[in-house]
């Protein structure tokens, strides 16, 4: 019986987006950004990703951007292609919603790259909800850097650290113990409706621990308060047809739990264990949707190509161990939601095409497809009616009739 596993390798782009010149890091357009190709060139000996490459990663890279990458030259044994996004954004909700069949119909609100970045009414709303006399930050910043720079002042004043990026986000960092995790989540939950009304896509709680002497570090208890998708997504299609939808990582937050039955969270290593559990135990006609965020958060935004390469090689080794556990009728589709080239200018996402690598359905080339085609193809595999604009790209003999 069919099952589907949609695994999003957060920010693992492969260059070649036709509209990259319209997206920027600072004053630099994203033209020429290529997460996988540039990491491979920067990494001694190239990238060693035998499982992903065998599924078609190197081939999809060349198809997307014309680039060749050291270490990625295998003849594909899976169904493979690349996907192009059409929504006017390169952020996480936009990418995930479109992968799930729903392009974003509006322009997100972003805050100006100046200090202060936030309008006075937003600052006052945060102060009122937090019960503090002020906030820290109020600027564009790297999350890891601002936590280290302002963590000590946060402990002394009790004021929340508020910052943003080129994406449509309002992020609040606070010490999980001194400020309180529940208090931080309540703060984000309280101010989220106001920011959502402004078309700010996400209010993100960024808890951390530590002190100035030992250093500050994030905890796994991040929480995204996102605008709900504007139309039913793949998750709703599957759930509406009677299938279970299991979320791994921040998927529940991204989709505001719309169409989600249950969620498992943790570090990427813990999420991989949850994915193994899902492959072993998920029921027939189910969809498991997973996001592995640390490529993006720990290595893409901080511009760490070496760390990114090591994370990719770890991920590849775990996928190699996972593949033999797939059952007959399983579809494992690996893709990404956007790029985040760690060799690029600035600290923000990069506009790129993404790989589409499918295990369990035999070999073949899908070509250049749309993000929404991924949702339609998964729906066709599960025999679920698709409700979005995408097209089923699976060969006819692999398509089930709803």
Q: Is residue 395 part of a domain?
A: no
301 is in an annotated binding site: yes
Residue-wise pLDDT tens digits, 72-96:
999 999 999 999 999 999 999 999 9
**Same domain membership, residue 86 and residue 235:** yes
The CATH number linked to 259 is 3.40.720.10
**Same domain membership, residue 155 and residue 52:** no
**Same domain membership, residue 248 and residue 124:** no
Please give the angle made by the CA atoms of 204, 215 and 307, to the nearest 5 degrees: 70
**Same domain membership, residue 85 and residue 66:** yes
**Same domain membership, residue 277 and residue 168:** no
Report the 10 Å Cβ neighbour count for 73: 12
Q: Is residue 213 part of a domain?
A: yes
Q: Is residue 100 part of a domain?
A: yes
H-helix segments, 105-233: 120-130, 143-157, 181-197
**Same domain membership, residue 32 and residue 19:** yes
**Same domain membership, residue 235 and residue 222:** no
Report the 10 Å Cβ neighbour count for 88: 15
The reported pLDDT for the residue numbered 313 is 98
H-helix segments, 204-267: 234-240, 251-254
**Same domain membership, residue 237 and residue 100:** yes
**Same domain membership, residue 52 and residue 165:** no
The encoded tokens of residue 356 equal 């589409």
Mean pLDDT of all residues belonging to the chain: 96
Question: Cα dist. 123→13, 127, 129, 134, 137 in Å?
Answer: 35, 6, 10, 8, 11
Residue-wise pLDDT tens digits, 293-338:
999 999 999 999 999 999 999 999 999 999 999 999 999 999 999 9
CA atoms within 13 A on the CB side of 12: 29
Q: How many structural domains does the chain have?
A: 2
Residue ending a domain, among 201, 226, 251, is 226
Q: Average of pLDDT values for 234-244?
A: 98
For residue 254, give the 3-state DSSP assignment. helix
Task: Determine the Cα–Cα distance for residues 289 and 357; give it in Å rounded to an integer.
Answer: 15
Is the Cβ–Cβ distance between 251 and 289 less than 8 Å?
yes
285 is in an annotated binding site: no
The reported pLDDT for the residue numbered 400 is 80
**Same domain membership, residue 99 and residue 237:** yes
Report the 10 Å Cβ neighbour count for 385: 11
27 is in an annotated binding site: no
Residue entry with tokens 């992020």: 171
User: Would you report the helix, strand and coil content of the chain in percent, each value rounded to 5?
Assistant: 35, 20, 40
349 is in an annotated binding site: yes
- Is the per-residue pLDDT at 401 higher than 90? no
pTM flag (> 0.85): yes
Residue-wise pLDDT tens digits, 166-207:
889 999 999 999 999 999 999 999 999 999 999 999 999 999
Task: Determine the Cα–Cα distance for residues 306 and 295; give it in Å rounded to an integer.
Answer: 11
Q: How far is CA 120 from the centre of its chain?
A: 31
Say what percent of the chain tops pLDDT 70.
100
Residue 264: give the domain boundaries.
Answer: 3-105+230-382
**Same domain membership, residue 376 and residue 240:** yes
Is the Cβ–Cβ distance between 261 and 267 less than 8 Å?
no
The CATH number linked to 181 is 3.30.70.1250
Say what percent of the chain tops pLDDT 90.
94
Task: Determine the Cα–Cα distance for residues 109 and 186; give it in Å rounded to an integer.
Answer: 23
The reported pLDDT for the residue numbered 397 is 80
């Amino acid at each position: 019986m069919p099952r589907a596993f949609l695994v999003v390798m957060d920010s693992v782009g492969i260059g070649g987006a036709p509209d990259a010149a319209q997206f920027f890091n600072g004053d630099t357009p994203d033209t020429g950004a290529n997460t996988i190709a540039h990491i491979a060139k920067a990494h001694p000996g190239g990238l060693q990703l035998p499982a992903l490459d065998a599924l078609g990663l190197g081939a999809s890279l060349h198809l997307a951007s014309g680039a060749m990458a050291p270490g990625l030259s295998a003849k594909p044994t899976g169904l493979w292609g690349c996907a192009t996004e059409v929504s006017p954004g390169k952020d996480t909700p936009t990418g995930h919603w479109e992968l799930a069949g729903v392009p974003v119909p509006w322009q997100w609100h972003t805050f100006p790259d100046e200090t202060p970045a936030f309008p006075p009414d937003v600052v006052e709303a945060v102060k009122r909800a937090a019960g503090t006399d002020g906030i820290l930050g109020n600027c564009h910043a790297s999350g890891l850097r601002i936590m280290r720079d302002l963590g000590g002042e946060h402990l002394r004043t009790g004021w929340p650290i508020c910052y943003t990026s080129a994406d449509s986000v309002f992020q609040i960092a606070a010490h999980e113990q001194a400020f309180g995790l529940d208090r931080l989540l309540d703060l984000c939950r309280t101010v989220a409706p106001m920011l959502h009304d402004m078309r700010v896509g996400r209010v993100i709680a960024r808890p951390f621990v530590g002190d100035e002497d030992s250093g500050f570090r994030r905890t796994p208890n991040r929480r995204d308060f996102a605008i709900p998708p504007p139309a039913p997504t793949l998750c709703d299609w599957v759930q509406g047809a009677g299938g279970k939808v299991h979320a791994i990582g921040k998927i529940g937050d991204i989709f505001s739990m719309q169409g989600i039955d249950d969620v498992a969270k943790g570090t990427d290593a813990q999420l991989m264990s949850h994915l193994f559990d899902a492959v072993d135990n998920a029921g027939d006609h189910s969809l498991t949707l997973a996001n592995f965020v640390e490529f993006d958060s720990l290595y893409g935004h901080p511009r760490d190509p070496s760390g990114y390469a090591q994370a990719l090689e770890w991920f590849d080794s775990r996928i190699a161990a996972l593949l033999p556990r797939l059952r007959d009728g399983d579809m494992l589709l690996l893709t990404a939601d956007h790029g985040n080239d760690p060799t690029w200018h600035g600290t923000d996402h990069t506009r790129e095409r993404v790989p589409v690598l499918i295990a369990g359905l035999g070999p073949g080339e899908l070509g250049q497809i749309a993000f929404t085609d991924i949702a339609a193809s998964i729906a066709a595999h599960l025999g679920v009616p698709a409700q979005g604009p995408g097209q089923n790209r699976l060969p006819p003999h692999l398509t089930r009739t709803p």
